[in-house]
Structure 1
């Protein structure tokens, strides 16, 4: 897992042959590192669009770039004197947006500033995590689904943002094992943001979730990226988990720009009726406000 791509300037338009090589390498290696790039928000967005429809981060709007909704700030750099809410995000093992019905496909992160020491990102190969399970456990997991819950995110955020984050993202159901659409390989799709398995209690699920989460981050499955300014790292959320290592001096700046492409798979809400009622209630409130405005 992991490959470095050289000989390409991502700030310039790429040919179809170049894009084909990059896509093929991405499928094979899951994580691609493009060192020594010079990208601004516009060129980052242009390159990212080669890999699908971009997420506008409506499920987590608190850390969007002030000028570009499709760029998410991974940063402790103050904006108007305040540190962004996502400065401690991603510090438990996870797959991006697994708590939504359309989890991310590609994630791309560009390093603008970094601390002197630390602030790495670690990736775990979920193909290997699945392949090294016993055939009996593989067969069991092939036939069950798991509930992913945004409330299991460990990042420290203000209470009002935590509450809004949960409101925007009701618990969702995904298969415990996903088949990658390009490689056709099976990948484990369970991590510490998994609350339980469908049809099992949380007490029954907890030991197995812990075992699978611990198993998947065995050192032999991991690539650890030590950032340099100008690195663009692109990874495949369909077949790995990752972790932002929070081991750096918080008085130093770690400033990254992130984009994500919308996934090619759709899950479902754990409680479809509750979500439908919530949407209806929100629609009624919006209509009431509009009618009130018209009346005034």
Structure 2
């Protein structure tokens, strides 16, 4: 069966059909996948019954993998290339460190000097209902701004943090994260290194704009996030077991909705492909 691609929504995304990631991919097949990844921003691979090793090996086709030193509590103890997105409690009964991972609009690793090129998330245990993830097209978010707004935000930098939706500043994890990941200033408009297109680079983890106070920054940040997440720019993914979703962090943003019953298990595992250096530490 030859490869084919089915659009997932008008705005972005494609399902890759006719592929088994447990089997080796030819260079020609991978090139087709990579081209569509750059064109559509998100790729969905259904019914992929693969091992952790195969997940990591396929991910490496896209570039060097992050070992998640910036998120040491969330990575798999035996596979540092795998980030756990899970609500399964820890062995001592404490809530999972990644229970609330992703429940804000964001782009992966934007709070580091080497933001992610792409992420490959594999669904392992999925709630019977819900647990969805939404994605939005940041090319379209930028392209549909007025010329005046584009000119205003072009020179701006935004301060990205690693904060989570549920913030406990007294916890060891929050103190550790603040030390490992000091705030990073990233351009509000980034040029995609492979396509050359401009994309808005913003999100709920942006605390402030460089050179402005938080009070001054908030109306603009709020507007840009609201604009970027308009329904016509968005694809909502309903997870199934053995799904793999690959997304381009350089031109998309995403959010985990947390839309499932308390007590239902949701366990996914993610590889993160390193991107090109971007941003700078604040002095």
User: Shorter-chain TM-score category?
Assistant: over 0.9
User: Aligned residue for 1:210?
Assistant: 222
Q: CA deviation at 1:39?
A: 1.4
- Distance across 1 between alignment mates of 2:212 and 2:34: 38
Residue 294 (structure 1) aligns with = none
Write the mapping of 1:1-296 to structure 2, written as runs, cut at 5 A.
1-80=12-91, 82=93, 83-151=95-163, 153-155=164-166, 159-271=171-283
Give the superposition deviation at 1:78: 3.4
In the alignment, what sits opposite 1:275?
A: none
Gaps of 5+ in 1: 272-296
Partner of 1:282: none
CA displacement 1:167-218 (0-9 Å, x = unmatched) = 1000001111011112211100011111222222222111100110111111
Q: Secondary structure at the match of 2:28?
A: helix
Q: Distance in 2 between matches of 1:77 and 1:201?
A: 39
Unmatched segments (≥5 aa) in structure 2: 1-11
Task: Answer with 1 or 2: which has the greater Rg.
Answer: 1
- How big is the alpha-carbon RMSD for the aligned residues of Structure 1 and Structure 2? 1.3
Deviation at 1:150, TM superposition (A): 2.3
Following TM superposition, by how much is the alpha carbon of 1:79 offset from its aligned partner in structure 2, in angstroms? 4.2
Aligned equivalents of 1:270, 1:110: Cα separation in 2: 34
8 Å Cα contact 1:103-1:263 kept in structure 2: yes
CA shift digits 1:245-290 (9 cap, x unpaired): 111012111110100011113321012xxxxxxxxxxxxxxxxxxx
Query: Separation in 2 of the partners of 1:265 and 1:113?
Result: 34
**Alpha-carbon displacement from aligned partner over 1:146-176 (angstroms, at most 9, x marks no partner):** 111224x313567110110111000001111
Distance 2:125 2:160 in 1: 32
User: What TM-score do the two structures reach when normalised by structure 2?
Assistant: 0.92
Determine the C-alpha separation between the residues in 2 that align with 1:222 and 1:140. Answer: 25
**Greater share of residues in strand:** 2
Alignment TM-score, normalising by the size of structure 1? 0.88
8 Å contact from structure 1 (residues 91, 244) kept in 2: yes
Question: Greater helix share, 1 or 2?
Answer: 1
132 and 217 in structure 1: CA distance in 2 versus 1, 3 angstrom threshold: same
